[in-house]
Amino acid sequence: MKNFSFIIAAGGQGTRFGGKKQFMTLGGRELWRWSAENAAALDSVKEIILVIPQGDTLNPSWNIATPLLVVNGGSERALSVLNGLNAASCDYVMVHDAARPFATPELFRRLSEAVSGDAGVVPVLPVSDALKRIEDGEVSCVEREGLYITQTPQVFPRLKLIEAVKKFPSSKDEAEAWKKSGHVLRSVEGERMNFKATLKEDMTIARALTERKVTRTGLGWDIHRLVPDRKLILGGVKIESPLGLLGHSDADVLTHALMDAVLGGAGLPDIGNLFPASDERFKGADSLVLMREVMRLVEAEGWTVEFADAVITAQVPRLNKYRDEIIGRLSEFFPVNIKFKSAEELDDSGHGLCMTCRAVATLGKVIEW
């Protein structure tokens, strides 16, 4: 049975990407770890060799039975790979880019079956885009028939590859050095998902594949008595009115319902628990200050409030002309819509005794797999 050292080339300085992406996390794991763990799933892979940048140190946690060796790379890719090859001990090597996190064990298996003592093997995919050549501003069309893109891992007998890389160190990949040395190179079908995260945009795609979004809806409701000699505050906006809302805080019925909707979506206790009426600190409190605290709590749990909608039920006063101002004030927190409803002179709000508010909020959270 063939045995393999799986070499992960993570020695790059990330100049095209703008940083060492191989150590960035994707779905809670560093980029290099994705392929390392998939390779370790194969019985024929006896060791993983991680080649890190020259001068760097890394002592990663690794609780998988297949041993992980960390070695430093060189000033160029070929030298980095050579350091990995020299540290390896198996008859065959798979040389993989850390920046290809989605290569599967199935691909590794296909490659391991195709390699032999005198033939290397690379994963390839046919070019699917139309190709152009541009020289001196002149665009010409290139026939794509028979053209393939090459992926990694590239798989070879180890000692012969060492010779080839030493002989042709300026090759773009190991396959090129191998071919220039006059050896046989075979191919197996690559994988579309085995793309290389070369640019920041590629990482955006990779994140989209490894992250999942949870959406929740929260419900809030509040009621306050309408009385003389109190200010009327809705959504932090002072409303001209002979009557105001009675309460321990500023009795902003709209902001209170919105806070409870937001807290509800996050699965947190309501404002009665967070800001009890028995607590003197909240006497006459500006409800927008309380909303800032609510937002701090839900954001600390990873939630984003995507939208909220509210209905205020009030017979008096007429509120419609304040709508834009209230929405503007509350947009400090999240996108919001406000509606006003008269109570048709029914129930206590319809008799001008109180105002009620109902609110719903949609919250989203990104969860890594």
Tokens representing 317?
A: 């006063």
As measured in angstroms, the least distance from the Cβ of 296 to Mg ion is 20
As measured in angstroms, the least distance from the Cβ of 276 to Mg ion is 12
- Which stretch in 8-16, 32-40, 220-228, 322-330 sits in contact with Mg ion by CB under 5 A? 220-228
Task: Identify residues 77-136 at the interface with Mg ion (CB under 5 A).
Answer: none
- CB nearer to Mg ion: give 183 or 256: 256
Nearest residue (beta carbon) to Mg ion: 256
Task: Identify residues 313-352 at the interface with Mg ion (CB under 5 A).
Answer: none
- CB nearer to Mg ion: give 30 or 260: 260
- CB nearer to Mg ion: give 30 or 222: 222
d(CA 100, CA 330): 44
- CB nearer to Mg ion: give 253 or 319: 253
As measured in angstroms, the least distance from the Cβ of 202 to Mg ion is 49
As measured in angstroms, the least distance from the Cβ of 346 to Mg ion is 22
- CB nearer to Mg ion: give 151 or 356: 356
Q: Which of 20, 21, 96, 256 binds Mg ion (CB under 5 A)?
A: 256
What are the residues whose beta carbons fall under 8 Å from the beta carbon of 84, sequence distance 6 or more? 5, 7, 8, 9, 49, 51, 71, 73, 93, 95
- Which stretch in 53-61, 69-77, 209-217, 219-227 sits in contact with Mg ion by CB under 5 A? 219-227
- Does 222 engage in binding with Mg ion (CB under 5 A)? yes
Cα 225 from chain centroid (whole Å): 46
- CB nearer to Mg ion: give 188 or 312: 312
Provide Rg for the chain, Cα atoms: 32
- CB nearer to Mg ion: give 79 or 223: 223
The 3-state secondary structure of the chain reads: CCCEEEEEECCCCCCCCCCCHHHCEECCEEHHHHHHHHHHCCCCEEEEEEEECCCCCCCCCCCCCCCEEEEECCCCHHHHHHHHHHHCCCCEEEEEECCCCCCCHHHHHHHHHHCECCEEEEEEEECCCCEEEEECCEEEEECCCCCEEECCCEEEEHHHHHHHHHHCCCCCCHHHHHHHCCCEEEEEECCCCCCCCCCHHHHHHHHHHHEEEEEEEEEEEEEEEEEECCCEEECCEEECCCEEECCCCCCCHHHHHHHHHHHHHCCCCCHHHHCCCCCHHHCCCCHHHHHHHHHHHHHHCCCEEEEEEEEEECCCCCCHHHHHHHHHHHCCCCCEEEEEECCCCCHHHHCCCEEEEEEEEEEEEEEEC
- CB nearer to Mg ion: give 205 or 277: 277
- Which stretch in 22-30, 43-51, 189-197, 251-259 sits in contact with Mg ion by CB under 5 A? 251-259
- Which stretch in 17-25, 109-117, 122-130, 248-256 sits in contact with Mg ion by CB under 5 A? 248-256
- Which stretch in 115-123, 176-184, 253-261, 274-282 sits in contact with Mg ion by CB under 5 A? 253-261
- CB nearer to Mg ion: give 64 or 277: 277
Site string for Mg ion, 261-280 (x = CB under 5 A): --------------------
* # residues near Mg ion by CB under 5 A: 2
- Which stretch in 80-88, 255-263, 292-300, 322-330 sits in contact with Mg ion by CB under 5 A? 255-263
Q: Give the interface with Mg ion as residue ranges (CB under 5 A).
A: 222, 256
